[in-house]
């Protein structure tokens, strides 16, 4: 499989995956891949270093896997179609979804809507399942925001740039918004959000104009253009997609499924969506580490529980 990344390394369009230096030269081969050696950090690498393909067996199945994933085939169907075991199918799914995290993360421009939504904490698929009965991310029986709800910050501008971030357990704070979208909103933009004090603080800190829309005061649209209906509709569509396609997902992997949803939205207008998806997935040199840190990030998330 001759990849675009190999081409880019040969043409010096990308740097050393270890130190980003351009001072590297060809250095033989490594299991069929071209190997390079960096003169700056002295380390060697191939086009797969850092990507989820590094050290992967059965690389020849990757394109078929991506195709089946593109068709949203279940792990059981993929297992049969590619003659791999279900654990491999599962691991590959999450390696690929981890690789989508930063793909096409553009700045927000113009009218920017942001609002959080909540998913019930779920340990679906976990062997040490402590909670009983409620496997799917349904509605909590208690009113208000409790600590067993996972806050997801959804942000979108009117040109289609979108961010879906698993932020914290329970109520979000200013720092959660900052972590999700801070530094990505272009200066002259206008932020639309509910009356949440965290959004007010975030807007103030970032010198952004804020239009507050309070549903409790029936403020659904202001001046005909300012509203948060796009993100609220996204909340519903994402939940519906997760429930109908996967019958709920484990909180540990929620960010990955959000990456999947976002990437489909980003590429839905592209005429070569499948190719874009494959390129995005196989060229991200931080994806293997991101995949390895899933457990760590989950632990960090649930310790935010009050």
Q: Which residues are near Zn ion by CB under 5 A? A: 16, 18-19, 21, 38, 40-41
Compute the least distance from the CB of residue 59 to Zn ion, in Å.
Answer: 24
Of 18 and 179, the one with the shorter C-beta distance to Zn ion is 18
Compute the least distance from the CB of residue 53 to Zn ion, in Å.
Answer: 19
CB 239 within 8 A of CB 246: no
Compute the least distance from the CB of residue 18 to Zn ion, in Å.
Answer: 4
Of 6 and 264, the one with the shorter C-beta distance to Zn ion is 6
**Joined tokens for residue 191:** 């932020």
Cα–Cα distance for residue pair 288/113, rounded to 1 Å: 32
Compute the least distance from the CB of residue 22 to Zn ion, in Å.
Answer: 9
Is residue 269 exposed (0-12), middle (13-18) or buried (19+ Cβ within 10 Å)?
A: exposed
Is residue 83 exposed (0-12), middle (13-18) or buried (19+ Cβ within 10 Å)?
A: exposed
Of 46 and 232, the one with the shorter C-beta distance to Zn ion is 46
CB 115 within 8 A of CB 194: yes
Of 16 and 154, the one with the shorter C-beta distance to Zn ion is 16
CB 99 within 8 A of CB 284: yes
Q: Provide CB contacts within 8 A for 201, sequence distance 6+.
A: 174
- Reported for 32-37, long-range contacts at CB under 8 A and 24+ positions apart, including other chains, are 33/6, 34/6, 34/9, 34/10, 36/9
Compute the least distance from the CB of residue 14 to Zn ion, in Å.
Answer: 12
Compute the least distance from the CB of residue 194 to Zn ion, in Å.
Answer: 46
Of 23 and 220, the one with the shorter C-beta distance to Zn ion is 23
Of 34 and 41, the one with the shorter C-beta distance to Zn ion is 41
Coil, strand or helix at 132: coil
Pairing of strands 149-157, 24-30: unpaired
């Amino acid at each position: 499989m001759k990849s675009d990344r190999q081409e880019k390394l040969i043409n010096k369009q990308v740097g050393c995956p270890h130190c980003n230096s351009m001072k590297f030269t060809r250095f033989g081969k490594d299991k069929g891949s071209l190997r390079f050696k960096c003169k700056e950090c002295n380390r060697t690498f191939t086009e797969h270093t850092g990507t989820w393909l590094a050290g992967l067996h059965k690389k020849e199945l990757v394109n078929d896997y991506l195709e089946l994933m593109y068709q949203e085939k279940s792990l059981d169907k993929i297992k049969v179609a590619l003659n791999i075991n279900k654990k491999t199918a599962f691991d590959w799914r999450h390696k690929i979804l981890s690789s989508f995290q930063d793909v096409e993360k553009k700045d927000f421009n113009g009218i920017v809507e942001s609002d959080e939504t909540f998913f019930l904490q779920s340990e679906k698929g976990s062997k040490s399942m402590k909670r009983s009965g409620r496997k799917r991310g349904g509605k909590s029986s208690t009113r208000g925001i409790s600590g067993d709800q996972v806050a997801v910050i959804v942000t979108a501008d009117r040109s289609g740039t979108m961010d879906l971030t698993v932020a914290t357990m329970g109520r979000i704070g200013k720092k959660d918004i900052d972590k999700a979208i801070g530094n990505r909103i272009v200066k002259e933009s206008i932020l639309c959000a509910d009356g949440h004090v965290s959004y007010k603080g975030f807007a103030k800190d970032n010198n952004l104009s804020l239009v507050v829309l309070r549903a409790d005061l029936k403020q659904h649209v202001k001046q005909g253009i300012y509203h948060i209906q796009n993100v609220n509709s996204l909340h519903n569509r994402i939940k519906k997609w997760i429930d109908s396609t996967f019958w709920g997902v484990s909180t540990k992997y929620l960010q990955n499924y959000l990456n999947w949803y976002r990437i489909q939205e980003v590429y839905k207008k592209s005429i070569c969506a499948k190719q874009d998806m494959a390129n995005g997935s196989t060229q991200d040199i931080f994806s293997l580490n991101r995949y390895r840190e899933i457990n760590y990030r989950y632990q960090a998330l649930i310790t935010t529980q009050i």
